[in-house]
Structure formats: structure tokens, C-alpha cells
Structure 1
Amino acid sequence: MADKKIVYTTYQRESDLAPAIKLIDQDLSEPYSIYTYRYFVHQWPELCILAHAQNKDNNEEEKGECAGVVICRLEPHRRRYCEGFFEDSAELNRGYIAMIAVGKPFRKQGVGSELVRRALDRMREMGADEVILEAEVGNAAALALYQRLGFVREKRLYRYYLGGMDAFRLKLWL
């Protein structure tokens, strides 16, 4: 892909969704309905980040092939009370990385890492104090990516996915 440059954008319109869905459906073991995607992109469009591969001579306005996507959300949560450190009623925000997929031709080029970094930066700007996600126990590449970015395994979720696969819940404190 040396003749391509990767351009990152946030969700803008419904036409952004079809290539993202195609990529996610190819990569993830869980089936999602169109309503699930719309829930995320309509509530948190700034947390749906797409990577497009463009020919180096294309102008910025032309979106190329969808190389990757990350879809996230941000919601309030209450941190557990910690004597003398946090106030029990402190309102904090938890980010959640729901889906990430990178097309096979674009793997091992930093696209996934950059998508997650951009999502983390955006969530931090929006007031997140932690980010969580789930990853299949057998997905060594994803687990290695998240570990490099500072995530730690919080717990194992047995038979978490529809196919009976276990997952790890991962957490990153911001």
C-alpha cells in the first residue's frame, strides 16, 4: 500500500456506514444489526472514526477504500468510593470501544493503533477517565495491540460471545 495514504475522518453521513459495516462483518465474530450501528453513530458520531486509503494524488475530499473503522461510546459512570481520594458522588465518564476492524491489506501498518489512539484522544477530550472493551481470548493480535496501548486485563468473561468464545474485559485508565 505504498502508493496509498491513510486519511482519518469521523462519521458524517449514512453513506459512511455501509463500508464500515462490510469491514466489521468480515472481521468480527459477533453479528450486529443495522440498528446497533445506527445507535452508536447517531449518539456518538465523533467517536466513530474511519480510515480511508487514498491514492497519493487524490484530493482530500475524495474518500478512498475503507481501510479501518473504530466505533465507540461515552457514558457517565460512578467510580467506587475511595476513602479520602474521590468524592462518592463524583460524576465521571467511561469510554467503551465497541467495534474495531482493519481490512486485511492494511494490517500491520499501524492503522488499528492509530484508530484506537484517535478514539482515546477524543474520549479524553470529552472527559473520559477510563476506557473499557472486550476482546476474544484467542485474538492474539488484538490483545497485543491493546497491551501496547496500555490496556490491562480486568477479567475473563466466560462464553461471552454467541459462539461460546471467552473474552477478556480490558481497561485503560486515562
Structure 2
Amino acid sequence: MSSPSISNSSSAEPQSKEAALPPEVQYIQYSHTLEKQYLPSIRALISKDLSEPYSIYVYRFFLYQWGDLCFMALNPTTTPPSLLGVIISKLEPHNSALPSSPTPTTQRGYIAMLAVSAASRNHGIATALVQKTIEEMRDRGADEVVLETEEGNGGAMRLYERLGFLRSKKLSRYYLNGNSAYRLVLFLRGVEDMGRDGQV
């Protein structure tokens, strides 16, 4: 992402009290028709774990343009279904194409925000949300997926590394609170196709 103010709010699935989940969690793609019903809940959920505050315009920037890359985990046993987790992402051409790449740009997916309610963690919801957005990006031709997460966020690091993400770069004092971050990358095409210059 060109702007370092967009960070990954990935507390993922750290330690929390076990909670009873509905027999089946419902996963749906975000749609503009759902804004009035769910945007306040999305903002409230993500804000609890953010390293820095985001205005409503940041959420709308992602949700208006890439709503099909954003997924919600809902509890279908409540009326209306309540929000358990959310992932907000985007997919854009990336200018720093690798020298050996056959195309002038790569399609880079970016996971901007990921949050799961404290009572719903440790049940695989964060993992499922990440997998769903990666598959959607893959279907749309993404070459790679990147994100940033706080250096000390062990739960998020373990989650992403289990899914194949690699540490690309350490970003010192990346967040407004002074904390450092790691940039992580997941290659969706083989390394032999992407080049080996180490720049991500």
C-alpha cells in the first residue's frame, strides 16, 4: 500500500475465553447494500484493535471499490445476524514489477484490516476470512498478497505464517503509536515466475 497509514489490525486469534459459537458461522461478501446495517459494527469491531484511528472515509475507500474482496463472519442465529469478524482488502496493479517479470506490473492484493470479536476468537474465523479473501484475489488474477502487522503481534504472525506468508521487511516505528511492523507477503505464483530480487 502506498500510504503507511493503512495498517493491518490483525489481533487475529490470540488468547481469549472460550465462547460458544453458533453451529455454523455464515461468511458473506460485503455489499454496498449492507453499509447501513453493518458499517457501524465493522468500525466498532476494528477500532478495538487498531494501532491508529481511521476515519469513516478510510473504510469507504476500501468497501466502495473492493467490497467483493471484503468478507464478514456473521452469527445467523441472531436477528439481524451479528458481526463476529471482518476482513477488508483491495487488489491493484503494483508498479515495482520485478525485472524478470513478463508483464510490466504485478497484481498485488493487500489485506488492510482483519478483526474478530474477542468472544469469537480461537475458532478459526480469522483463518477462514483470510483464506476467503486470498481465494477471491487468486480468482481475479492476483500475483501476490501483502500486509503489515505489528512486530509484537504474535497471534497474527502465527496465523499468517501458517497460511504461507513470509516476512519481507521490518518497518521501524511504522504505526502512529511508535510500534514497528513486519511486512508479510504471500506469493500466489511460483517464485520462479516472480523473479528473485527480494523486492516486495
Decide which of 85, 109, 124 is 2:138's aligned counterpart.
Answer: 124
Q: Could you tell me how far 1:5 is from its partner in structure 2? A: 2.4
Distance (Å, rounded) in 2 between the aligned partners of 1:31 and 1:4: 34
**1:63 shift after superposition:** 4.2
- Checking the alignment, whether the CA contact within 8 Å between 2:73 and 2:84 is kept in structure 1 is yes
Distance 2:81 2:111 in 1: 24
Letter in 1 for 2:151: V
Structure-2 residue corresponding to 1:77? 94
Task: State yes or no: 1:133 paired with 2:147.
Answer: yes
Alpha-carbon contact 2:22-2:75 (below 8 Å) kept: no
**Higher share of residues assigned strand:** 1
Counterpart-to-counterpart distance in 1, 2:106 and 2:175: 28
Give unmatched runs, 5+ long, in structure 2.
1-19, 189-200
Cα separation, partners in 2 of 1:54 and 1:43, compared to 1, 3 Å = same
Q: Does 1:42 align with 2:64?
A: yes
Give deviations 1:52-104, integer Å, cap 9, x for gaps: 0122xx7xxx542110000000000242112xxx32x4442000000000001
Partner SS, residue 45 of structure 2:
helix
TM-score by length of 2: 0.79
**1:4 shift after superposition:** 4.4
CA contact (8 A) 1:4 1:53 kept: no
Query: 1:34/1:2 Cα in 2 relative to 1: closer, same or farther (>3 Å)?
Result: closer
Structure 1 unaligned regions, length at least 5: none
SS in 1 for 2:134: helix
Q: Give how far 1:2 is off.
A: 4.3
Please give the alpha-carbon distance, in whole angstroms, between the structure 2 residues aligned to 1:139 and 1:162.
16
Residue 169 (structure 1) aligned with residue 183 (structure 2) = yes
In the alignment, which of 121, 130, 138 is matched to residue 107 of structure 1?
121
In the alignment, is residue 98 of structure 1 matched against residue 112 of structure 2? yes
**Could you tell me the percent identity over the aligned residues?**
45
What SS is found at the alignment partner of 1:31?
Answer: coil
Contact 2:21–2:120 under 8 Å retained in 1: no
Q: Distance in 2 between matches of 1:63 and 1:20?
A: 14
SS in 2 for 1:75: strand
Distance 2:143 2:93 in 1: 10
Flag the structure with more relative contact order, 1 or 2, with Cα contacts below 8 A and sequence separation at least 6: 2
Matched residue of 1:68: which SS?
strand
Name the structure 2 match of 1:5: 24
Q: How many residues align?
A: 165
Are the equivalent residues in 2 in contact too, given 1:52–1:63 (CA < 8 A)? no
User: In angstroms, what is the RMSD of aligned CA positions?
Assistant: 1.4
